């Protein structure tokens, strides 16, 4: 009967669907996204005769340029270190059309042209593992990050026309290379068990001020005044994208447990003994747990004790197999010293094949460095 129930349970596990549990990225990944880009307007105080004349007339001495909502696209390649930290290199493109200008309280009547910017960033991000806060199977992973880099900014035939109220046309063109910086806040949502995730992000992107050439032409006299103007460049981007982790840990399988017969025997008692990294010697706490298991085996009518050694995935499978064997034998020896008959103990080693916490290859996980003592 026991063998039949074991086989039934194994069959249920094998056929169960996989649960897409959100977790930090481990290893190489690629990502891309796109969405809305809002470029803040630029306000300047009129200088020289123009500013003095405006103030003397009791009108505003400000000049302001505003931009229409545009778009942004980003693409990146990066590496997750398995502890929540990611590092990536990003390429981006943003574009906004001119919306209009206001000079000394007078709004432009005709506008054309745009501003676009492209460049590269180096970002560092942190994935917040919600399992650390008690959420056993989180459906998303929030993250924050920051980056620095370079941006090429081009003002492409921007034109603001104040006719017929005022016989003046202002045009701007040129490009500049500037230092860029950004802050990132987002969340990723796993899509099945493939390593693919949907991402939603907010990005604040800014640069030092790019400088462009501006030409102010009086249409009556055809006189042209040329100046060099700086432009504030602060962007707010809302992006939706996809990210693919090439070796994301396989999600945990949902287990369907067969109902137990009415006259089921008492469940086995299990004790867990944990080990330090790359060690097989027993700590004081480990000896205490083994002592409890030895005492329980003499008071519960135990007929068989199973000792199974395990390791995490930070070494090679062959090394971890040997390490888990040494750990199991150390526990069995301590049980024997505590008065348990050696003939009642069976020793097995599973290496890294049966993790308590699924991880990617090479990740150190303390809960996987263990020996399980099962009293039957």
Q: Give the CATH fold of the 26-245 domain.
A: Porin (2.40.160)
Contacts for 363 with CB less than 8 Å, ≥ 6 apart: 26, 82, 312, 313, 314
What span, in angstroms and rounded, lies between the C-alpha atoms of 286 and 291?
A: 9
Q: What is the pLDDT of residues 176-219, one digit of tens each?
A: 999 999 999 999 999 976 789 999 999 999 999 998 876 666 65
What span, in angstroms and rounded, lies between the C-alpha atoms of 231 and 351?
A: 61
Per-residue pLDDT, 327: 94
Nearest-CA neighbor of 302 among 241, 365, 376?
Answer: 376
Q: What is the pLDDT of residues 24-49, one digit of tens each?
A: 788 999 999 999 999 998 877 655 55
Mean per-residue pLDDT for 224-238? 83
What span, in angstroms and rounded, lies between the C-alpha atoms of 10 and 16?
A: 10
What span, in angstroms and rounded, lies between the C-alpha atoms of 196 and 16?
A: 20
Distances (CA, A) of 290 to 103, 305, 322, 350: 82, 12, 21, 20
Q: Higher model confidence: residue 205 or residue 225?
A: 205
Contact 146, 139 (CB under 8 A): no
Domain boundaries, the chain: 26-245, 266-375
Give residue 168's pLDDT band: very low, low, confident or very high (50, 70, 90): low
Residue with tokens 């649960």: 19
Q: Does pLDDT of 9 surpass 50?
A: no
Q: What is the distance in angstroms between the CA of the first residue and the CA of the last residue of the chain?
A: 15
Mean per-residue pLDDT for 156-163? 74
Q: Does pLDDT of 244 surpass 80?
A: yes
What span, in angstroms and rounded, lies between the C-alpha atoms of 347 and 324?
A: 10
* Sequence-ordered alpha helix ranges (H) in 35-149: 48-56
Per-residue pLDDT, 334: 92
Q: Give the CATH fold of the 266-375 domain.
A: 60s Ribosomal Protein L30; Chain: A; (3.30.1330)
Per-residue pLDDT, 149: 97
Judged by average pLDDT, the poorest of 44-48, 201-205, 324-328, 354-358 is 44-48
Per-residue pLDDT, 256: 52
Q: Higher model confidence: residue 305 or residue 105?
A: 305
What span, in angstroms and rounded, lies between the C-alpha atoms of 74 and 268?
A: 54
Contact 223, 200 (CB under 8 A): no
pTM metric for this prediction:
0.59
């Amino acid at each position: 009967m026991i063998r039949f129930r074991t086989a039934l349970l194994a069959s249920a596990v094998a056929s169960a669907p996989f649960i897409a549990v959100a977790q930090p990225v481990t290893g190489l990944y690629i990502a891309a996204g796109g969405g809305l880009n809002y470029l803040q307007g630029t306000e300047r105080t009129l200088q020289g005769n123009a500013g003095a004349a405006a103030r003397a007339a009791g009108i505003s001495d400000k000049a302001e340029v505003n931009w229409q909502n545009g778009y942004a696209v980003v693409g990146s390649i990066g590496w997750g270190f398995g502890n929540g930290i990611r590092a990536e290199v990003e390429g981006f493109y943003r574009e906004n059309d001119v919306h209009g200008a206001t000079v000394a309280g007078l709004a432009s009547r005709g506008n054309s042209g745009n501003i676009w910017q492209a460049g590269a960033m180096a970002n560092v991000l942190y994935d917040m593992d919600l399992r650390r806060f008690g959420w056993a199977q989180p459906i998303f992973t929030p993250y924050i990050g920051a980056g620095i880099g370079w941006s090429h900014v081009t003002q492409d035939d921007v034109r603001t026309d104040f006719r017929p109220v005022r016989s003046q046309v202002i045009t701007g063109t040129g490009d500049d290379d500037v230092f860029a910086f950004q802050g990132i806040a987002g969340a990723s949502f796993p899509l099945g068990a493939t390593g693919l995730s949907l991402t939603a992000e907010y990005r604040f992107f800014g640069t030092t001020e790019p400088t462009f050439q501006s030409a102010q032409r009086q249409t009556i006299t055809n006189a042209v005044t040329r100046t060099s103007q700086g432009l504030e460049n602060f962007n707010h981007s809302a992006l939706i994208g996809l990210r693919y982790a090439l070796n994301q840990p396989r999600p945990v399988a949902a287990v369907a447990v067969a109902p137990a017969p009415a006259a089921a025997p008492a469940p086995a008692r299990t004790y867990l003994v944990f080990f330090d990294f790359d060690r097989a010697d027993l700590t004081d706490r480990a000896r205490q747990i083994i002592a409890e298991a030895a005492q329980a085996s003499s008071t519960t009518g135990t007929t068989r004790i199973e000792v199974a050694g395990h390791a995490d995935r930070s070494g090679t499978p062959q090394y971890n197999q040997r390490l888990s064997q040494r750990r199991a034998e150390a526990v069995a020896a301590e049980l024997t010293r505590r008065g348990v008959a050696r003939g009642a103990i069976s020793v097995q080693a599973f290496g890294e094949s049966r993790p308590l916490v699924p991880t990617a290859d090479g990740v150190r996980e303390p809960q996987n460095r263990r020996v399980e003592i099962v009293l039957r």
